[in-house]
Chains A and B, each alone.
Chain A
Amino acid sequence: MHMKLAAAAAMTLTALPLAASAEGDVNIYSYRQAYLLEPLLNAFEQETGIDANVVFAKKGLAERLEREGRNSPADVVMTVDISRINELVERDLVQGVENDVLNENIPENLRHPEGKWFALTTRGRLIFTSRERVEEGEITTYEQLADDKWNDRICTRSGKHPYNIALFSSMLAHHGEADTKAWLEGLKDNLARKPQGGDRDQIKAIAEGVCDISIGNSYYYGNMLQDENQRAIAEQVRLVFPNAEGRGTHVNISGIALTKSAPNRDNAIKLMEFLSSAEAQRIYAEANTEYPANPDVQPSGLVAEWGEINPDQLSLQEIANNRNAVVKLVDRVDYDGE
């Protein structure tokens, strides 16, 4: 009886019907912040007349997609980190796209062999060092992070954050389990404080003198340089492209995938094509100081200034496959502990 009342009350609340446009809609589940997408989606709407609707969440969208099944309104999922994209494939929530435009715009190593996901941007996982307290060239590889020399001088975010997991997964692929465990233990011993905060916080910690070295994604540094409140902090660190002389720097991606249920499949593919186009790639990479996935597009001026990135050619799939083993390894060495 009361549930009826509740239901009635709830019904009056349902969101206003979306204004239907002539060209229809495309619905996006996004793990990326809405404001990063806004300029892109506005450009897309202008160009095609298709309305783009977004639900942004940090967590649980895959579950939501799975439960909604064939009735899910979502057409595409936009997400960061290869493991999260891979999870969608493994749970059979996305469909392959065979499309000439996309295959033209996105290199083979940055898309799923059957088109179940496409990378839109890449970002390097870099080492940042204090300009004051660390000499240039004193550290050049991920492996050196475990050297005793850096005891109590390194800061990182949680070892379980997807960005670190992906980096550790690449270490596992190159070095095997025993060596990777030893390396992780060495790195943990070198931490100046319990892992906390985000990648920017580690750069701040270097500026504060808490530590001398940190690990972080390239775009965080770029964003700090562009933010007048944080520029002075970012300028105190030097960025290092680890293993540039060897196998290359570990990179991760942000990407897009077409859901299995996509009710607006054609519009969704239009959106994917658009996002891979030179114009959108420029906006997208610029907005977050990332590297465009489309090789025809040059990184923005600021990113280009940092020098060439030599990406590790290890397959993203292998990184994703190592994830579970690595997370357990991180637990075993108690990386996030005191």
Chain B
Amino acid sequence: MTEAVSRVDPGLTEPLLAKRTSRHWLIAAFLTTTIVALPVLSVIFLAFFPEENIWPHLLDTTLPRYLSTTLQLMLGVGALTLVIGLSSAWAVTMCEFPGRRFFEWAMLLPFAVPAYVIAYVYTSLLDYAGPVQRNLRDWFGWENASDYWFPEIRSLEGAILMIGLVLYPYVYLLARAAFLEQSPSLFAVSRSLGHSALSTFFRVVLPIARPAVAVGLSLVLMETLNDFGTVDFFAVQTLTAGLFDTWMNLGNLGGAAQIATTMLIFVVILVTLERYSRRRQQQFAARDNRDPIRRFTMSAPRQYACLAVCAIPVLFGFLIPGFTLGLYAWEYFGESWNTDFIQNTLNSLLLSGTAALTTLLIGITLAYSRRLHDTKGMQVLMRLSSLGYAMPGAVLAVGVIVPLAGFDNWLDSLTRDLFGFSTGLLLSGSTFALVFAYTVRFLAVSAGSVESALQKITPSMDMASRSLGHTPGKTLVRVHLPMLRGTLMTAALVVFVDCMKELPATLILRPFNFETLATYVYQFASDERLYHSALPALIIVLAGIIPIILMSRSISKTRTMG
């Protein structure tokens, strides 16, 4: 705990916030959590009452391998994203080097590339028949694969690299927002007390940014846990791959649900760790936007080091795959550009936009309810509501179908019996099911970031507003939301881009004649027709870029640049 952070005695804040608060917030939080938790509970129910219990067989044969592979993958991706995300966030926030303004937002670019797309691209570049090995063979006169050694892209290490390259922006984004929000004077004080820049970074800056970085890292790890496209393509046997295998190849949904429940335990551990890292860490930044950040001026070699730190991830995570896709898309443009493609693009944008908005609203509701009633029960609710993030998309889809189709069929029976007409599949047969699934899946993203941002606003704000006669709702709208604008944009954007990329659940839940770009890409890519998938994949990437730029500008605006 640093001395530099003003602390408010929690004993003092509790009654002031909790008392005289309407129950609406509590009820709203409870309801949303229940609805969001339904799919998760459906899956857990399936796990405990399977038709044929395959658990002993799994335990005996494949499960240990799934577990150890998953752990290795998460460790690898976690380490990689932390290194890339933190170093680049620090460089663009605090160091002056050529291209800094550009990298501020360019660091986010890989975020727009779905992991399965980057995996397809690098496989086509790096496998035996790809240009890299072909040229090597030409230069050295090798005949075939037995003449030389070349790293195997389709491996655990390859998967770590692919997934890490597209997920580090989570860490970067949240770390950078935290670095920007910290008071520059802290740094100056630490330096004046004789600490080196490096030691200040680890002793002052990082501890303050830790809650945000923890959120970023836990998002990365959950995404890693959920990845199917990449590990499937690389034959890396993680829990998710095993889950699909158990469901699709053993035809045992119960067993799949049991693996999903195992994964949930992982997530509970992740979430708990993340909470633990925030424990006793209520700091309230004295935000002073008129105090510009004073960036370090550095020697040329150091500037180049900063440049490299930022350029390498962008090059491999975005430029190379983007350029390759662009090339393929150009070559096959005539075949790819058609009305289907345009319709699917619109579908994707609308659907993701709606889901992002819904998720944000519910996220705010939950996070704010918790601020008002920070009780044990509320914490449990928060945790429950974020479980959807851990559900692999395909399993979540099943979890969504169970309650929705159940409700539809119940309503249908009712109207048939009472009024003699059929309502059919009101919810499960429409895009509602998709929006619902996305909301369940990504609520953890928005609720998590809103919550960590709210924690930084001192309760004195609430007290002031409430003592002036504002209701909690009015306080939220007038005081908190304006202060949180950057965070809200970030959260909405992250969800938007995630929805654009979401694949397994979309495949299962989409209505007739309805494709999103992701499902469209997958159809071709899974059939090894990467060339045809290039244009829609490129659009997913481009669509992801626009909000990235917008959002990045809004973060920068939170502080006038000196």
Q: Which residues of A are interface residues toward B (Cβ below 8 A)?
A: 1-3, 5-7, 9-11, 13-15, 18, 27, 33-35, 53-61, 63-64, 67-73, 83, 87, 158, 160-162, 165, 194-198, 200-201, 204-205, 207-210, 233, 323-324, 327-328, 331-332, 334, 336-337
Instruction: For the complex, give the distance between the alpha carbons of A1 and B358 in Å.
Output: 11
- CB A104 to nearest CB in B, in angstroms, measures 31
Asked whether A160 and B405 contact (CB < 8 A) given A15-B514, A55-B511, the answer is no
Task: Determine the distance from Cα of A60 to Cα of B400 in the docked complex, in whole angstroms.
Answer: 12
Tell whether, in the assembled complex, residue A323 and residue B412 are in contact, meaning their CB atoms are under 8 Å apart. Answer: no
Taking CB atoms, residues of chain B closer than 8 Å to A209 are: 143-146
Q: State how many angstroms separate the Cβ of B293 from the closest Cβ of chain A.
A: 36
Inter-chain contact A3/B508, CB cutoff 8 Å: no
Contacts of A54 in B (CB 8 A): 512-513
Task: Let me know if B351 and A27 touch, CB within 8 A.
Answer: no
| 0/1 string, B160-194, CB within 8 A of A gives 1 | 00000000000000000000000000000000000
**A9 touching B358 in the complex, CB below 8 Å, given contacts A197-B235, A327-B250:** yes
Q: Check if B435 sits within 8 Å of A10, measured CB to CB.
A: yes
A-facing residues in B59-91 (Cβ within 8 Å): 61-62, 65
The verdict on B409 contacting chain A, using a C-beta distance below 8 Å, is yes
For A67, the chain B residues whose CB sits under 8 A away are 398, 401-402, 405-406, 428
The CA of A2 and the CA of B32, in the complex, are separated in Å by 8
Contact A3 B35 (CB under 8 A): yes
The complex places the Cα of A72 from the Cα of B401 at a distance, in Å, of 12
Q: Which residue of A lies closest to B143 (CB)?
A: A209
In whole Å, how far is B411's beta carbon from the nearest beta carbon of chain A? 10
Please name all residues of chain A whose beta carbon is closer than 8 Å to the beta carbon of B250 when the two chains form the complex. 324, 327
Q: Is B144 a contact of A196 with CB atoms below 8 Å? A: no
Report whether A196 and B401 are in contact in the complex, using a CB–CB cutoff of 8 Å. Answer: no
Which residues of B are found within 8 Å of A58, using beta-carbon distances? 507, 526
A10 CA to B354 CA in the complex, in Å? 7
B396 to chain A, nearest CB (A): 11
The listed residue (A2, A158, A196) touching B154 by CB distance below 8 A is A196
Q: Given contacts A3-B35, A196-B234, A331-B57, are A71 and B425 in contact (CB under 8 A)?
A: yes
Contact (Cβ within 8 A) B431 A13: yes
B510 interface residue per 8 A CB criterion:
yes
Question: Ordered nearest first, which 3 A-B pairs have the shortest CB separation?
Answer: A209-B144, A196-B235, A67-B405
Bound-state CA distance A332–B57 (Å) is 9
The answer to whether A64 and B508 touch across the interface, beta carbons within 8 angstroms, is yes
Query: Does the CB pair A14–B428 fall under 8 Å?
Result: no
Nearest-neighbour CB distance to chain A for B434, whole angstroms, equals: 8
Quick one: closest A residue to B253, CB to CB?
Answer: A63
A71 & B424 in contact (Cβ 8 Å cutoff): yes
The interface residues of chain B lying within 8 Å CB-to-CB of A201 are 528
Determine the chain A residues whose CB is within 8 A of the CB of B35 once the complex forms: 3
Indicate whether B281 reaches chain A with its CB closer than 8 angstroms: no
State A34–B523 Cα separation when bound (angstroms): 8
Is A14 in contact with B431, judged by CB distance below 8 angstroms?
Answer: yes
Contact A57–B154 (Cβ < 8 Å): no
Q: A15, A83, A160 — which one has the most chain B CB atoms within 10 A of its CB?
A: A15
Q: Give the chain A neighbours of B249 by CB distance below 8 A.
A: 160-162, 165, 327
- What residues on A are CB-neighbors of B245 within 8 Å? 160
Residues of B within 8 A of A327 (CB): 249-250
Task: Give the CA-CA distance A161 to B401 in the complex, in Å.
Answer: 26
A selection of 10 A-B contacts at a CB cut-off of 8 Å is A1-B28, A5-B358, A6-B435, A15-B512, A57-B507, A59-B248, A60-B394, A209-B144, A327-B250, A336-B235
Q: How far is the CB of A234 from chain B (nearest CB, A)?
A: 12
Determine the chain A residues whose CB is within 8 A of the CB of B398 once the complex forms.
Answer: 60, 63, 67
Q: Tell me if B269 is interfacial: C-beta within 8 Å of chain A.
A: no
Instruction: Please give me the residue from chain A that is nearest to B51 by CB atom.
Output: A91
Q: Which B369-413 residues have a C-beta within 8 angstroms of A?
A: 394, 397-398, 401-402, 405-406, 408-409, 412
| B235 and A15 form a contact (CB under 8 A) | no
- Which B residues touch A55, using CB under 8 A? 510-514
